[in-house]
Structure 1
Amino acid sequence: ISAIVDVDAVKKAASVNQATITEYFVAELIDAFQRVQQQTVSSPKRYKPIRISVPVNIRKIFGSTSMRNFTLFVVVGIDPRLGEYTFAEIIEQVRYQIRNGVNSKSLSRQISRNVAGGRNILIRYAPNFLKGPIMKILSERYGDRLYSSTISNLGALTLPSGMSSHVTRADFYLSPSKSNKVSLAVVGANGRLYLNFSSVLVKRTDIEREFLSTLVAKGIPVEVASNRDELL
């Protein structure tokens, strides 16, 4: 499912909450997960924490010009087992957790941890036929299962003047996984934001519906398209 929204309308909604566009969308996605969980899980005792993985471009933080995928992830979220969170409470948590996690000291700790894992003698010298399955198990246990979804915002595309007039829209997509069944990718171009949901779910669009309908309810016009027309 894809959606197009006006960037100024989203900026206004974000600024009202003293948040960036990314922080605002993360909060709305968490709130959508919270509502769907309330609708589908019979007892609050069975609620699960809601965590969103947010990729961070760390080139600026470390002054790097690397063309490699130089990113780390900040995982933010809430625990609905403690009670229902209002949107104001959610966005307050999101602002704090993202801003607390996006700094050189916190990110350096992540880098050190990742490098230490790569230098582990058992991992370095293990044969590939053993290393592959082990790394897959570790990824499933300590990777995707630690969060509910991923949202990545590329920001506004900067195009050459001779090209921008010929570009009608921009898109990019994230790959959902067995654990993270729905993911959201955002990119801006020509005053618009293009939101693309990727999902492994064939017949369920609960999260997408909750997220987009809330934007509309808050006065943000949304154009929606899907390759699953029967679900719109």
Structure 2
Amino acid sequence: MIKSAVPKAKKIPNYFRAVHGITPVADIKNLAAQREMTITDYLLAAMLYALYRNAPRPYKKPVKINVPANLRTVFGTPSRRNFALFANIGFDPSKKADFSFDDIAEEIKGKLKQGVSREELEKMVSLNVKTASSPLVRFMPNAVKHMIVKLGFRYSGQKKFSLCMTNIGIVKMPPEMAAHVDRVESLLGGTPFKRLSADIISDGKMMLITFTGDNKSMAVQRDFFRFLAGRGARIRVECNDWESWGGEA
């Protein structure tokens, strides 16, 4: 198993920080179009760039982001359960001395589409089913299964990526309801082993990019939003810990 680089950050005990970046969808769409990328791919590259800038040096581990794929749309199921699998998209910064955003964008171009393709997802589903169908697993006591899964999640699953990012997309609602909604928000829950997560949601006009977590440093969030602003996106930042942010947009 190859572990991913994670920016060093101290934990804030019993605290959950949320940093929102509000921006017009059109601004991000234009930036993505300039590089012939989808919005998700562009934001993925920008987050990888922010993580890369804050990763421990010298670079020895890949920088990867965990991106979920909604299996309902892929397999056409009406299931209301959390039916998803994940692709780890990133690059190896040890390949050369320095990576620019453009380098990273080229490095990951097409990887997300390939990683969440039906063919790749079917392989993952097949592997999961094969594991669950094993006689050893089937007859193993549940208490032992739960312990193994927890240990695997802690020491293997969470080590394969630097951050989890999900793009929920456009939230559609009836016009009668939309008239009373100022904006839509989504806060992605964290885990005991990852200090930072990110999600993206939109009402079609405005996009809300939210970082959540309990890490003391906000360097990744700040670098991410500054990068987008530097490329021309209009960004308004909100935070439930504005003093730590420094009051800078």
Q: Match of 1:36, as an amino acid?
A: N
Pairing partner for 1:75 from 74, 81, 88: 88
Pairing partner for 1:123 from 125, 137, 158: 137
Structure 1 residue 190 displacement after superposition: 4.7
Pairing partner for 2:173 from 140, 159, 165: 159
Which residue in 2 is equivalent to 1:49? 62
Superposition map of 1:28-43 within 5 A: 28-37=46-55, 41=56, 43=57
Asked whether the equivalents of residues 177 and 200 of structure 1 are also in contact (C-alpha less than 8 Å), the reply is no
Which residue in 2 is equivalent to 1:196? 210
Structure 1 residue 129 displacement after superposition: 2.6
Q: Which has the higher helix share?
A: 1
Please state if 1:4 is matched with 2:28: no
Which residue in 1 is equivalent to 2:74? 61
Give the percent of matched residue pairs that are identical in Structure 1 and Structure 2.
Answer: 29
Encode CA deviations 1:99-130: one digit per residue, 9 max, x unaligned: 22222211100100111122222322222332
TM-score normalised according to structure 2 size: 0.86
Distance of aligned partners of 1:34 and 1:10 in 2 relative to their CA distance in 1, 3 Å threshold: same
Structure 2: 5+ residue runs without aligned partners?
1-18
Show structure 1 runs of 4+ deviating over 6 A. none
Secondary structure in 1 aligned to 2:110? Answer: helix
Secondary structure in 1 aligned to 2:42? Answer: helix
1:15 & 1:82 partners in 2: Cα distance?
28
Structure 1: 5+ residue runs without aligned partners?
none
Superposition map of 1:80-229 within 5 A: 80-83=93-96, 84-201=98-215, 203-229=216-242
Encode CA deviations 1:143-164: one digit per residue, 9 max, x unaligned: 1111000110010001101011
Where relative contact order (Cα < 8 A, 6+ residues apart) is larger, the structure is 2
Structure 1 residue 26 displacement after superposition: 0.6
Structure 1 residue 8 displacement after superposition: 0.4
Please state if 1:15 is matched with 2:33: yes
Q: Match of 1:94, as an amino acid?
A: I
